[in-house]
Amino acid sequence: MNNAMTIAKRELASYFASPVAYVFLVIFLVLTGFFTFMMGNFFARNDASLLSFFVWHPWLYMLLVPAVGMRLWSEEQRMGTLELLFTMPITPAQAIWGKFIAGWIFLGVALLLTLPMVFTVYYLGEPDGGPMLTGYLGSFLMAGCYLAISGMTSALTRNQVISFITSVVICLLLVLAGYPPVTNILLKWGAPNALVEFAAGLSVVFHFESMQRGVLDIRDLIYFLSLIAFAIFTTGVVLKSKRS
């Protein structure tokens, strides 16, 4: 645990040592603002909630989180520091979790910087605090999922561009699986209802939506956490198989 934290600290420091972190934060905040107020018609809805804010997160994260995760392992492989890291007295699991946690904390910081949204809603009306809280939790978990997936694709290649594009595509699939256009196609093909529901159940949107409404279902938590655990585990397998 200690070692994982040491690695997380180093990784986090390296985010802020380069312009990447600042560029990411600015773009993330500008885009969330733009989508919420312009595309989401925040004012016209006349509704004291963050629904028009959260609804864009699956799409925003799809593009932005892989930008954070793509360097996690590609960079180490390209620079040769992977050899240094894996000859230190730490387990691969500590290294993988440490790096993941660093990225997740960074995304958490980005999310915290959107808190003025909450103040705005409180200033304008009398919102229900519950859905906001679960919405933020859901958003954070979803960011974790995307990050774990882009960490996995970055373990696969030393090329950051390939890592980025692959993880965007995987995240896109995870988002689209629950949307009516996709589920309708499945229904048209005559897929049994159970299969359609299963496909929709794989979608992050499906699980995130219920959390936006303020429903904290243990199944949603399990979904997000197991997706993270799976991607992390796969990262370990990929890194090990690359060395043998």
Partner 1 sequence: MTVGTNAFFLCQKVMFCFTDWPSGWCVAEFYPQGELQTKIGETKGMIKTIDVRKSFGSSLAVDQVSFEVKTGEVLGFLGPNGAGKSTTMRMITGFLPLSGGKIQIGDYDIEENPLEAKKLMGYLPENAPAYADMSVIAFLEFVAKIRGMKGVEAKEAVEKAIRTCHLEKVRMQIIDTLSKGYLHRVCFAQAILHDPPVLILDEPTDGLDPNQKHEMRELIKEMGKTKAIIVSTHILEEVEAICTRVIIIDQGKLVFNGTPAELLAKSPEAGQVVVRIQGHNAAEIREKLPEISDVAQVRIRQEGPAGVTAILSAKPEKAVQAGKVHKFLRDLNWDFDELHMENGRLDEVFRRITSLDSAGEVTK
Using CB under 8 A as the criterion, which residues of the chain lie in contact with partner 1 when the complex forms? 3, 6-7, 10, 13-14, 17-18, 79-81, 83-84, 86-93, 233, 236-237, 239-240, 243-244
Give the pair of three-digit tokens for residue 238: 């990929």
Residue 35 tokens, joined = 């989508």
Q: How far is residue 212 CA from its own chain's centroid?
A: 16
Least Å distance, CB 28 to partner 1, is: 21
Determine contact, residues 151/235, Cβ cutoff 8 Å.
yes
Instruction: Estimate the share of the chain in helix, then strand, then coil, as percent rounded to the nearest 5.
Output: 80, 0, 20
Residue closer to partner 1 (CB basis): 37 or 233: 233
Token representation of residue 200? 């929709």
- Nearer to partner 1 by C-beta: 46 or 87? 87
How many Cβ atoms sit within 10 Å of the Cβ of residue 167? 27
Nearest in space to 128 (alpha carbons), one of 47, 53, 209, 55:
47
Minimum CB–partner distance for residue 103 and partner 1 (Å): 15
Separation of alpha carbons 181 and 190, rounded Å: 15
| Residues 188, 183: Cα–Cα separation, whole Å | 9
Q: Is 10 or 219 the residue whose CB approaches partner 1 more closely? A: 10
Compute and round to an integer the Cα radius of gyration of the chain.
19
DSSP three-state, residue 113: coil
**Are residues 210 and 220 in contact, defined by beta-carbon separation less than 8 angstroms?**
yes
Q: Which is nearer to partner 1, 14 or 210 (CB)?
A: 14
Work out how close the CB of 236 gets to partner 1 at its nearest, in angstroms, rounded to a whole number.
4
- To partner 1, the closest distance from the beta carbon of 101 in angstroms equals 15
Beta carbon of residue 159, minimum distance to partner 1 (angstroms, whole number):
17
